[in-house]
Amino acid sequence: AAFMALKEANGGVSWDNWPADHRRREPHVIAEIKRSDAFERHAFRQFLFFKQWTALHRYANDRGVAVIGDIPIFVAYDSADAWSHPHLFYFDDDGKPTVVAGVPPDYFSPTGQLWGNPLYRWDVHRQSGYAWWLDRMRATLRQVDLIRLDHFRGFAGYWAVPAGLPTAEIGEWRPGPGKHFLSALKDALGDLPIIAEDLGLITPDVVDLRDSFDLPGMRILQFGFGSPTDPFLPHNYVRNCVVYTGTHDNDTVKGWYKTAPQAEKKYCLKYLNTTAAKLPQAMVRAIWSSVANVVVAPLQDLLGLGPEARMNFPGKPAGNWGWRTSAAAIGDSLRDSLLELNTLYNRLPKR
């Protein structure tokens, strides 16, 4: 609330453009802003959000439904986290990043991906016993039941790009906190309720880190139709994984099929023994019938919707997360089909 009130007082600009005493959280600044109407307004909005979310979370849990939440490995630069804990990041004396996050060039992106997030000083985190990360995990687990750790590979090693460069072509691989970090989480939290988002450039050290803590990885069925040996196809799954028809970053099944290469379309329909018109239902059935311990289908695919219902376009700055459903769309037919699948493949909640 203090961060948002100060941001409002400074015309909405990024915190590195605030006056020095605001940037450095001088005690008189914090005391003054906490007496402001803006602080009270933001604090009350946050209170309402957490009150409503807690009620929704409890409602789901009471009906045998668990909630999965996301923790991205990195935080935004213009955030309360970076402003309030600058010593945990690679910042200069003025609070400017010296290196930022990204991924190196590959077949799909010749200049790499420049994300621009500030990078952690893992040595400082380690000295504190990862206190900030433990606070982050505990706060999230008060709101959800399972955590998907986004960009899990960054805990094994991450790409560091000098700040100010226009692309991610120039950078270096740096070691992540690895097993020492996850051991600290396990010591503090017990069994780790974590899903490892292990998509993208996955090297043996990432697999070793994931498997050393028995964390489930991810499989995306849409990615699997290039070859019979593809790990994203159901006959290649392992039990300890979480399978999606597609995630929030993917198009819907119908949307994916419209733009997929012809060879993948042909193999997909043959593999699933279905037609294009029935593809969403066939993909849902395929992952439900697999050996994977956990399966996830976006509501858009359960409803058989097209690309107009896509949730997110990675890299697109606006127009995302706008899709909404209606109560009328979720009728008896969907309920009955899900009940049938869950009964048939022994996926009913255990009570």
- Which position among 16, 145, 150, 169 bears the catalytic label? 150
Instruction: Compute how many other C-beta atoms are within 10 angstroms of the C-beta atom of residue 65.
Output: 11
Closest CA to 260 of 224, 308, 295, 312: 224
And the tokens for 273?
């023994």
Q: What is the pLDDT of residue 91?
A: 98
And the tokens for 128?
């504190």
Verify whether residue 264 is a known catalytic residue. Answer: no
And the tokens for 153?
């590979």
Q: What is the pLDDT of residue 351?
A: 67
In three-state secondary structure terms, 59 is helix
Cβ neighbors of 225 (< 8 A, separation 6 or more) are 233, 260, 264, 265, 267, 268, 271
Q: Does 225 lie in the same domain as 108?
A: yes
β-pairing, 172-175 with 157-162?
A: antiparallel
Q: Does 87 lie in the same domain as 2?
A: no
Q: Does 247 lie in the same domain as 265?
A: yes
Taking a C-beta distance cutoff of 8 angstroms, is the pair 4, 79 a contact? no
- Which position among 16, 145, 249, 264 bears the catalytic label? 249
And the tokens for 169?
């072509």
* 310 domain-assigned: yes
β-pairing, 172-175 with 217-220?
A: unpaired
* 350 domain-assigned: no
Question: Which residue's entry shows tokens 């020492």?
Answer: 180
Closest CA to 123 of 83, 161, 175, 73: 175
Q: Which of 65, 85, 108 is the last residue of a domain?
A: 65
Domain with 122 in it: 67-344
Q: Does 146 lie in the same domain as 89?
A: yes
- What is the number of domains present in the chain? 2
Global confidence as pTM: 0.93
- Start-to-end C-alpha separation, the chain: 40
Closest CA to 120 of 99, 94, 151: 99
- Left, alpha or beta for 76 (phi > 0: left; psi -120 to 50: alpha)? beta
- Which position among 197, 198, 251, 301 bears the catalytic label? 197
* 215 domain-assigned: yes
HSE-up (13 A, CA, CB side) for residue 325: 15
In CATH, what number is assigned to the domain containing residue 184?
3.20.20.80
CA–CA distance, 188 with 180 (Å, rounded to integer): 13
* 248 domain-assigned: yes
Q: Which of 65, 85, 106 is the last residue of a domain?
A: 65
Verify whether residue 249 is a known catalytic residue. Answer: yes
Mean pLDDT by 10 residues, the chain (351 residues): 98 97 97 98 98 98 93 97 98 96 88 95 98 98 97 98 97 98 97 95 96 98 98 98 97 98 98 98 99 97 97 86 94 95 92 67
Q: Does 280 lie in the same domain as 221?
A: yes
* 349 domain-assigned: no
Verify whether residue 208 is a known catalytic residue. Answer: no
Q: What is the pLDDT of residue 69?
A: 97
CA–CA distance, 328 with 276 (Å, rounded to integer): 25
